[in-house]
Chain A
Amino acid sequence: MTTPSPTVFVVDDYAPVRRSISRVLHAAGFAVAAFASAEEFLAQYDPRTLGCLVLLELQDILAKAGSVLPIIFLTGTADIPKSVQAMKHGASDFLTKPVNDEDLLSAVRVAFEKNRSVRQQQTELSEILARLATLTPREREVLEYVVTGKLNKQIAGDLGTVEQTVKVHRARVMQKMRVRSVAELVRLTQRCGISAR
């Protein structure tokens, strides 16, 4: 099964606007899919698809659905309450109508790039989590002490064991997490939100 190509999803209830925006994006070489409503979009959306969402009116339902796509809002009036609301809903960009094609396209490109990097980070993160999952509870415990920068002797003291045992666990952790230095281990654990003891 192939991953779908990156697509711009356009959602608006007013057909002429929906069609014309789709045309611009299509002419600029993007794959476009247009929907009259948020519900229609969610029913057809394949979560693996990369891209971005162009929304012409703020729609609560998308935020609730927790889409991972960056959202570009196109609105009639760029007043402060609306902007704040849009940002809270995770807007990638906020444009006012009528929109210039270059602004729209650059916003779409930025959103694509953002989406791509988010996807990459997500992939990396899931890999780190997978490595973490291979650790035994004892190794995990040792990991949490190691990232605080404590020496083996101190860790052994805290855990009530001997220094040699801690040494073995540490080596296994480094191996399983595929890191060569403690600094590298710290970076990984920070990314997946493991706090030090």
Chain B
Amino acid sequence: MSWITIVWSMNAAACLTLAGIYLLVWCKQRQNWAHLLFSFTAVATAAIAAFESAMMHAETIGQYEALLRWIHVPVWVLVISFVSFVRLYLHAGRRWLAWSICCLRTLVLILNFVFTPNLNFRHITSLRQFSWGGGEIISVPVGVANPWGLLSSVSLLLLLIFFVDATITVWRRGDRRRALVVGGSMIFGAILAWHVPLVIWGIIDIPFFLCFTYSGIVAAMAYELSYDVLHAAQLARQLQASEAELRETEQRMQLAASAAELGMWMWDIARNEIWITDKGRALFGFAPSEKLDFDRFRSALHPEDRESVHQAVENSLRTGAEYESEYRAVLPDGEVRWIAGRGHVEFNGDGQPVRMRGASVDITKRKQAEELAARQRNEMAHLSRVTMLGELSGSIAHELNLPLTAILCNAQAAQRILANGQVDRTELREILNEVISENKRACEVIRRLRLWLKKGEARQDSVRINKVVQDVLKLIHSDLVNQKVIVNCELARNLPAVTGDPVQLQQVLVNLVVNACDAMADCNTPERRLLIRTGTGNGNGNGAVLVSVTDRGGSIPEEKMEQIFEPFFTTKAKGMGLGLSVCHSIIAVHRGKLWATNNADCGATFHFSLPIGIRGTAVPISSNGQLDDHA
């Protein structure tokens, strides 16, 4: 066997091997069409090598003609594959040129089977046999070239132009390695392929070695593809590394979450499935394998909190705002647990909510501490009210004495009228009417006192602030009269309601009014004027109701403006110095603000603001976690 047979066979074998490998690769990754195209190219090159080898060993002209005709089939496959590869893999080459080449080559293939013996020759006159390069004897055709064979040459020329154009594009794109390796080998191959027409036209006298010109391209393509495969493997390694890192991050997250006692969750909205960590399951008392959806979550909530949580979720889904809510969950054993949940919604391209991720945490201890603080605050407020009542006892006794005196005198007058024997029925009726109305008045005083002295949780009522002002003025009316203080009120009409405890708000106002009166104790009687104003304004950025109490006493030294709200700060001989600090904490719990300013002429003004309609922070809970019922 001579070297020629060995070299051509090895070429074919190498191409087939590569074709096999990349066909397998393509089978694994179907979306990568470049691999399939490469396989076609390699198979076609192997086929060309086989045909060329056979042609060299052809014995008769008939054999040679038939082989030359059929070699057009792998060449056609090869050209189509090349063009497709350049378009699909290199993303280069002009489309019209690509189509022209494909059509022309197909035309060449068809014409090849139309003409006899083939497209290249009108007829082959003889086979010249000679020994080439010290190898075995080979055959080279001698005959009349078919002028239609020029079409094949044109297609080859177009292919060359197509390759050059594509290479320039790739080069300019900056992908120089690809341009050099793939583009360069293709241009080189297309130039070398010109030996075929030269042989046919009898200009040179060598066997066809098309398989080598193309196997160079195949090798370049294989190198390029393997580079890609290597690159993919590298990416896969990196991905693995980053996955490991991700796992570690996840573990760290889990560690952090479990350290913070966080229950992480994710709600797939479309499928209505909730995934939650084991910690989260324990938090809500869900069984470890239980399937969870939104309704199951809702059923774990305290009945009174279901609506508010639902609203918070709805709001987040609608507006995309962060979900935030504090609620109670009832565990299967009946234990009530306070939980704070936070999360955010993820939307798809159409703006539809897809899923919600978040975390929940047990805040029972915090709530209990808050509850304790609220209780102590309420007790403090109560104590302060009791103290204040002691100070006001004289005027309260007076308020009670008035109706009691009227009742007693009326009743005794009635006795005397009856004893006198001259009964005036009209007068008796008047006496009884007055007894009843005075009794009601006394009851009203007692009712106010009871409210004032009532010990208990702060209420969350809707409060009209003007009503509070009027109630306070009734409560301390006598005190104001005794101290000869004239009160002017400027109450704004149609004030929105605020949420809070009416008695505690009264307490604040009584404190401010009593302080104002004390501040004016040394003033001349006509100067003892007090102004109470209500209105609306801005408090902490939101709408608020404002109340102010203006006196005409002394002013507050600037350096003590803040100090006056501290506990045990007092300027009075008898005072404990708790009044204003209690007021300050009451207003703070109502999410409002209490502050003082000095007036331009004389005296000081105390202001407080209360947000409109917002519930306070303190939700009263008792030790069993039930909301207190004030009804």
Measured CB to CB, the residues of A under 8 A from B are 14, 16-17, 19-21, 23-24, 26-28, 74, 76-77, 79, 97-101
Contacts and interface: CB of A to CB of B under 8 A. Distances in A.
B563 interface: no
B438 to A, nearest CB: 5
Given A16-B434, A16-B438, A101-B416, A21 B394 contact: no
B410 interface: yes
15 contacts: A14-B406, A16-B434, A17-B409, A19-B434, A20-B408, A21-B409, A23-B413, A23-B417, A98-B404, A98-B405, A98-B408, A99-B409, A100-B408, A101-B408, A101-B412
Contacts of A21: 405, 409
A18 to B, nearest CB: 9
Contact of A97 (B405, B427, B431): B405
B397 A98 contact: no
Contacts of B405: 17, 20-21, 74, 97-99
A24 B416 contact: yes
B402 A14 contact: yes
Contacts of A99: 405, 408-409
Nearest to B398: A76
Q: Which of A20, A27, A74 has the most CB of B within 10 A?
A: A20
B412 A24 contact: yes
B403 interface: yes
A77 B395 CA distance: 9
A9 to B, nearest CB: 16
Nearest to A20: B409
B573 to A, nearest CB: 16
B108 interface: no
Given A17-B402, A77-B398, A23 B408 contact: no
B29 interface: no
Nearest to B441: A16
B442 to A, nearest CB: 10
Interface string B531-558: 0000000000000000000000000000
A97 B413 contact: no
B406 A77 contact: no
Q: Which of B401, B404, B410, B438 has the most CB of A within 10 A?
A: B401
Contacts of B408: 20, 98-101
A154 B278 CA distance: 128
Nearest to B400: A76
Nearest to A96: B401
Nearest to B395: A76
Contacts of A27: 413, 416-417, 420
Q: Which of A19, A21, A23, A28 has the most CB of B within 10 A?
A: A23
A28 B416 CA distance: 7
Contact of B409 (A76, A77, A101): A101
A10 B410 CA distance: 15
B407 A98 contact: yes
Contact of B394 (A28, A76, A100): A76
B488 interface: no
Contacts of A23: 409-410, 413, 417, 427, 431
A17 B412 CA distance: 13
Contacts of A24: 409, 412-413, 416
Contacts of B407: 20, 98
B437 interface: yes
A23 B410 CA distance: 7
A74 B407 CA distance: 15
Contact of B406 (A16, A26, A76, A101): A16
A20 B403 CA distance: 10
B413 A77 contact: no
